[in-house]
Amino acid sequence: MGSDWESLTVLITGGTGSFGKKCTEVMLRRYQPKKLIIFSRDELKQHEMRNVYPDTPGASIRYFIGDVRDRDRLYRAMHDVDIVIHAAALKQVPACEYNPFEAIMTNIIGAKNIIDAAIDNGVRKVMALSTDKAVNPINLYGATKLCAEKLFVNGNTYSGGSGPLFSCTRYGNVVGSRGSVIPVFQEQKKSGTLTITDPRMTRFWITIDQGVNFVIRSIEEMHGGEVFVPKIPSMNIMDLAKAIAPKSKIDYIGARPGEKIHEVLISGDEAPQTVDDGDRYVILPSGPWFQNKHWTHATAVPEGFSYTSDRNPQWLTLDQIRQFIADLQ
């Protein structure tokens, strides 16, 4: 499928977010789909995006105002769509903790609506974006994304052999995205003091370009039910602080509710279903409906394997972190 994007209609939910905008830029520049539909609920962000990518006569891009909570609107938006990239979510941890019903409506009920609309409209493939916070979740955001993962993986049982294929990508913090700590540190640098929750804190890091490319590649190679996990580097929060503001003082404020010291991309409980495929891991479905016909070339991970940000063999150096930050300017 990697060679025929020009014949496909692609819909991106949450298309005006950090991922959606970068995915749009890559799609239009490199893959040139027959039609690209931006589905989101913020009319202002769509207006701003339309100024960059206008939907003039003859253009392939279209803009749909809508919410993934609205099943009927999704049905209309997915008419004649081939590929759905599901990036819409409520993802701010404190906001999800304070507004739990809203997080469930968007992240879980929204996922169900995506699955139903895709099946009934004959969509070919659906790729949902997940997060490391879905693994052994301790906050509501992570719990809702775990539920969403389960829905999409087992959505293949609802679609049957002739319906859409559903899979997920799961990766860590996106450098410079909305909610990233980098702009926070850059602003705090002006005062001479950075606030850090815990000096031991580590995180997986990936650039927005890497995330988009990984998602597109995963769409091309998915067979339904996989959770794709890239091999990405870790970063220590203290190294990030040194790279951004080496002369600033540090104020330790303690971990916030629902915040982990280290993140996990693959838990030990998932190891029996996980294979190593070179520059990525693939978590295979464990349901009785799944037969491993397509990943026999990959290597099973060792017993007891887990992929955590503090025991990651790949770490960003200070120079690499500085380069990350410079690339964001």
Catalytic residues: 133
For strand 264-266 and strand 307-308, is the pairing parallel, antiparallel, or unpaired? antiparallel
Q: Of 197, 194, 185, 181, which Cα lies nearest the Cα of 255? A: 197
The conformational region for residue 236 under phi > 0 = left, psi -120 to 50 = alpha, else beta, is: beta
Q: Of 303, 269, 304, 270, which Cα lies nearest the Cα of 284? A: 270
**Facing residues of 65 across strands?**
40
Three-state secondary structure readout of the chain:
CCCCHHHCEEEEECCCCHHHHHHHHHHHHHHCCCEEEEEECCHHHHHHHHHHCCCCCCCCEEEEECCCCCHHHHHHHCCCCCEEEECCCCCCHHHHHHCHHHHHHHHHHHHHHHHHHHHHHCCCEEEEEEEHHHCCCCCHHHHHHHHHHHHHHHHHHHHCCCCCEEEEEEECEECCCCCCHHHHHHHHHHHCEEEECCCCCEEEEECHHHHHHHHHHHHHHCCCCCEEEECCCEEEHHHHHHHHCCCCEEEECCCCCCCCCCCEEECHHHHHHEEECCCEEEECCCCCCCCCCCCCCCEECCCCCCEECCCCCCECCHHHHHHHHHHHC
